[in-house]
Chains A and B, each alone.
Chain A
Amino acid sequence: MTSDVSQLVDHLFRHQYGHLVSTLTRIFGLDNLDLVEDVVQETLLKALRHWPYHGIPDNPAGWLYQSAKNQALDIIRRNALFRDKAAEIARELEGWERHGAVTSLKDDELAMILACCHPALPRNTRVALTLKTVGGFGVAEIARAFLTNDTAIAQRLVRAKRRLRIESIVLEVPVDSEMPERLESVLDVLYFMFNEGYSAHSGANLVRFDLCEEAIRLVQLLILHPAGDHPVVHALAALMFLQASRLSARQTPDGQLLLLGDQDRTLWDCRLIDWGLYHLSQAGKGKKLTAYHLEAGIAACHSLAPMYELTDWPQILGYYDQLIQINPSPVVTLNRAVALSMIEGPQAGIKQLHAIQQQVPMQEYFLFHATLADFYRRAGLSLEARDAYQRAVQFAGSDTERRFLVRKLENLQ
């Protein structure tokens, strides 16, 4: 026992929640996910009532495990529903070892991630369910992260659980041949989760950062499991680490947005860049080139440039050319146009953007107008630049973005 608060690892409760839910759900079955969540919630409550008086146990995770196990045993003793399976469940629970911090991904958790990210569920649902049951996020936290209300998320979760039942989705690590498709669905969720956190359109930044952190934690856990240790998973990990390395440089202390060219590169987190490059090297071991590989490659080009002026634009353009083959979307074209303009000049960029301006969602996408404005500015077309910046302001999602654009607009004059 200790009264030292620092003994509590950051996010211990959140991570243990996911860990305990996964393990208990394997024992009780996905049908009893609600019951399992109640058990784990009650376990945390017990710690809340107990620890302030007794201090933090030497092995907090082990304490939570033991406590959850006792409560689960209690439930099967009292609940008639489990009478038939009581002996079996009790045996499994008794077999629980005492766990320390979660450093590896057990089959239970991998199975849980796979079930939450099942292709039969809509993407939004997959993300919410993963955050709730694997990530240990609360309903309100998920709602804040996705700028919606608690009721909407709660309903989404209820529907998700019903869907799991209807589709008879079971908790298991599928056979090797099914793994690529299932992994793809998981990576899609983690990529979305990370981007939601990274782009921080609006809302509380802290919650957003939590999303990035959770996406990175899960992708790392995936890699720790033999069934998840695929080159494409490494590619996504590389992309996340390289992007995350720049998080603290993207804003000034007073909250102003800074683009790549204006960032203080000494603020980039070298440790994360190293991790990113390591995963990128691992990503190259497969046969398949995915969008994650290419996006990570682009991110690496930026990470490796000692200054903006020395960015390897031809290499980046090459990656975008390949990316457009895989994912021919106007957003990719928009980003490619930036690289192109750095090589061939702003006029080339303007031409590209004009070609896609009628496509959805470009007209209402603030970055489209902001990028176009920047091209006009560089081409010396101040009037057009002002118009485009004004349109960008109109569609900006957050105050940070709006302030950034207004500043650009003022600098034009």
Chain B
Amino acid sequence: MATFMLLLKGGDFSGYSPEESQKILQDYMGWSQKLRTQGKYKGGDELKDGGRLVSVSDGRVVDGPFTETKEVIGGYFLIEEPGLEAAIGTAKDCPHLKYKGRVEVREINPH
């Protein structure tokens, strides 16, 4: 078994009615609930909006806002899967894809 991090990027929930919003939420909850019942769920968290991007410019360390706001990481899930293919399969089921979001799948390199 290997551990993977699913990074949920972007995503747009604007313009939905309250009823549709609840359906979207139920969609996500259904997906994460399945991870739990299958014993794949190892953790996950939402990342706060904002934050800073620290970089070096002209030899000086600076911090500034993200330039690519569309690709901001909204949160992540840690899941256990037999291999990359299985992890990709789980990511493909993630409702995030239906709402203009993308899911990056990365394997945690064991010590």
In the complex, what residues of A have CB within 8 A of residue B24's CB?
48
Count A-side interface residues using an 8 Å CB cutoff: 28
Known: A48-B24, A52-B75. A11 touches B32 (CB 8 A): no
**Using a CB-CB cutoff of 8 Å, which residues 295-326 of chain A contact chain B?**
none
Is the CB of A285 closer than 8 A to any CB of chain B? no
Q: Are B46 and A5 in contact (CB under 8 A)?
A: no
Chain A: minimal CB distance from B110 (Å): 24
Known: A3-B29, A5-B33. A53 touches B44 (CB 8 A): yes
Q: Are B17 and A137 in contact (CB under 8 A)?
A: yes
Interface contact tally, CB-CB below 8 A: 80
Is the CB of A407 closer than 8 A to any CB of chain B? no
Chain B: minimal CB distance from A130 (Å): 15
Q: Are A44 and B46 in contact (CB under 8 A)?
A: no
Chain A: minimal CB distance from B49 (Å): 9
Is the CB of B18 closer than 8 A to any CB of chain A? yes
Checking A5, A17, A55, A140 against B30 with a beta-carbon cut-off of 8 angstroms, the contacting residue is A5
Known: A5-B26, A8-B25. A52 touches B18 (CB 8 A): no
In the complex, what residues of A have CB within 8 A of residue B104's CB?
none
Q: Are A14 and B19 in contact (CB under 8 A)?
A: yes
Instruction: Write the chain A residue with the least CB distance to B44.
Output: A53
Is the CB of A191 closer than 8 A to any CB of chain B? no
Is the CB of A138 closer than 8 A to any CB of chain B? yes
Is the CB of A13 closer than 8 A to any CB of chain B? yes
Is the CB of A259 closer than 8 A to any CB of chain B? no
A359→B49 CA distance, assembly (Å): 63
Contact mask A135-171 → B, CB, 8 Å, 1/0?
A: 0111111000000000000000000000000000000
In the complex, what residues of B have CB within 8 A of residue A48's CB?
13, 21, 24-25, 28
Instruction: Write the chain B residue with the least CB distance to A140.
Output: B17
Is the CB of A56 closer than 8 A to any CB of chain B? yes
A-B contacts, 20 of them at CB < 8 A, read A3-B32, A5-B29, A5-B33, A13-B21, A14-B22, A45-B14, A45-B21, A47-B21, A48-B21, A48-B25, A48-B28, A49-B46, A51-B25, A51-B29, A52-B29, A52-B75, A137-B17, A137-B18, A138-B19, A141-B19
